[in-house]
Structure 1
């Protein structure tokens, strides 16, 4: 368990805080190529159990790094999202730490605070991956990186938003994008979506499809050509939906979170974890969705299914 204590730093009201981890695991930095650009290029790999670092082959690490780099290009250049380190919440972070847990074969976790510790005295944000994850068979690295993008843009971590959108993001690499299930037509169906986690991905897929039925095929050739060591494609998607809408959705959720923090007299980036996940904020989220859709597509242009959904959530958006 990590104990957080506020690191001493000059006040920067526009930025999130940097916390000191008083107890941190046994971490050892691997050789990392320096990158002068502040963005995803500033990634530092650490191993959690240095005595087991030999179990992490260079091939496996290269494939993990390849997936992360490709996912970042998709999120940043294709979707048009601002990289986490360039967002106000993470202005004090100097790099992204990727902790490889060499004894784990699967799984990952994205952390949402800017931290530093004796193992790494510079402020940074973190994600952890099972060091034995096989990138060509597992999209956990891309999934966890998307969480860092979400954390940088919004404080909401309700599972249907946080995990549903992150699961959708995997389709940008996996391919085989579907049109999704019909949008909820009544309150009961909407409530079922908002009780979901990863299972909410089809909801987002459908919303994006209705807003962008032509799809987006603007995958850079350089990404299409990327291959893992086994020869398989890193980015297999050929078309997807919602690329122009997603930045607007993230911006609307960001604004809704700031308004809620002002209303509740919370620090903008200092919400209690329970509040970040509380389902009582679903109306604020739906209001942000309603605002983003209305801004992106006038009512007259909305297909009937989307218009009916917007009418359903409109009372909650007031």
Structure 2
């Protein structure tokens, strides 16, 4: 019965989204276009990931070493290995893949395009699905710096952003970057965790809401109180994965606060649906400024604090 309800729901939703379309009739949650095949000379595909890269020109990969002589730069293979491993780890931990989330499921997203290019930062994940030019295919996008070195966890960090975007429309950096920084611990071996006191006064909260990566300390405060042991016991199939250098992709089985982070995503998913209904917004497309608006900070924080107190009492 539940399966039948889901089928009916998504069928109605796909038909309903025609109301929320741009002037070309494209659904708002896949209105932008991408044209990678005209910009990149090479591709490397494994599962849902396609890496696009160049060996010449302004976007060429800086380090083109190929120690296994298979005509694919080692950095490309290592990035792919990290992405696949991170996805497998997130599946194991209980996060729902973006393709299974209604925001992207309604436009049939089934590929993630990873473009290695000359950008200022290490990486960037796009929250909107993009339509491949001259096709009906909608894909998710990640851009990575052509200067990345093997073992840098930016690819995993950016992939985690796609998981966030599948769950919720909110893009407050204290939330998106704070939890994405947490996700790096899935692969990295950490022995020290910066812990920042939870903000109490309005002034302290406003300071916290202005943070980005450095919001990590407050998230650590939450998760270490709730889950001090942090033993997730990854399967051997993940622990044995190695980059071409022989270095492990997953460095240990210690990760604090998985359940808390998943519950936060689920709670914010319900919250943005409620806001969409109250404000008459399309649930899967908010204006960028509204996604980042500080007007959401207070209610988001209240929901997260509630999860923390409830879970802390239960645990």
The CA RMSD over aligned residues, in Å, is 2.9
Contact residue 43 and residue 53 of structure 2 kept, 8 A: no
Q: 1:28, 1:216 → 2: CA distance?
A: 42
1:94 is aligned, of 96, 103, 110, to 110
Contact residue 28 and residue 119 of structure 1 kept, 8 A: no
Q: 1:29, 1:143 → 2: CA distance?
A: 26
Which 5+ residue runs of structure 1 have no aligned equivalent? 1-9, 35-40, 303-318
- How do 1:14-93 residues align onto structure 2 when only pairs under 5 Å count? 17-21=29-33, 26-28=38-40, 30-33=42-45, 41-47=47-53, 56=64, 57-78=72-93, 80-91=94-105, 92=107, 93=109
- 1:245 is paired with a residue whose SS is helix
Q: 2:154, 2:310 → 1: CA distance?
A: 32
Q: Are the structure 2 counterparts of residues 26 and 219 from structure 1 closer, same or farther at C-alpha, using a change threshold of 3 Å?
A: same
* 1:139 match: 153
Q: 2:287, 2:54 → 1: CA distance?
A: 27
- 1:266 is paired with a residue whose SS is coil
- 2:31 is paired with a residue whose SS is strand
* 2:125 match: 110
Q: 1:81, 1:54 → 2: CA distance?
A: 32
Task: Please give the per-residue CA displacement for 1:141-197, whole angstroms capped at 9, x wherever unaligned.
Answer: 011001100111111111100111111111221121526233224333222211101
Of stretches 82-91 and 263-272 in structure 1, the one that deviates more from structure 2 is 263-272
Give the CA deviation at 1:125. Answer: 1.0
Q: Are the structure 2 counterparts of residues 155 and 77 from structure 1 closer, same or farther at C-alpha, using a change threshold of 3 Å?
A: same
Q: Are the structure 2 counterparts of residues 27 and 122 from structure 1 closer, same or farther at C-alpha, using a change threshold of 3 Å?
A: farther
Which 5+ residue runs of structure 2 have no aligned equivalent? 1-13, 19-26, 65-71
* 2:180 match: 166
Give the CA deviation at 1:216. Answer: 2.1
Of stretches 178-187 and 283-292 in structure 1, the one that deviates more from structure 2 is 178-187
Give the CA deviation at 1:290. Answer: 3.1
Task: Please give the per-residue CA displacement for 1:116-137, whole angstroms capped at 9, x wherever unaligned.
Answer: 132765211111111331131x
- 2:259 is paired with a residue whose SS is coil
1:280 is aligned, of 283, 289, 295, to 295
Contact residue 30 and residue 44 of structure 1 kept, 8 A: no
- 1:183 is paired with a residue whose SS is coil
Q: 1:259, 1:226 → 2: CA distance?
A: 41
* 2:248 match: 233
- 1:135 is paired with a residue whose SS is coil
Aligned residues: 283
Q: Are the structure 2 counterparts of residues 104 and 278 from structure 1 closer, same or farther at C-alpha, using a change threshold of 3 Å?
A: closer
Task: Please give the per-residue CA displacement for 1:3-54, whole angstroms capped at 9, x wherever unaligned.
Answer: xxxxxxx6354997322428879433744446xxxxxx31112237875657
Q: TM-score, normalised on structure 2? A: 0.80
* 1:4 match: none
Contact residue 211 and residue 297 of structure 1 kept, 8 A: yes
Q: Are the structure 2 counterparts of residues 189 and 22 from structure 1 closer, same or farther at C-alpha, using a change threshold of 3 Å?
A: closer
* 2:307 match: 292
Q: Are the structure 2 counterparts of residues 59 and 132 from structure 1 closer, same or farther at C-alpha, using a change threshold of 3 Å?
A: same
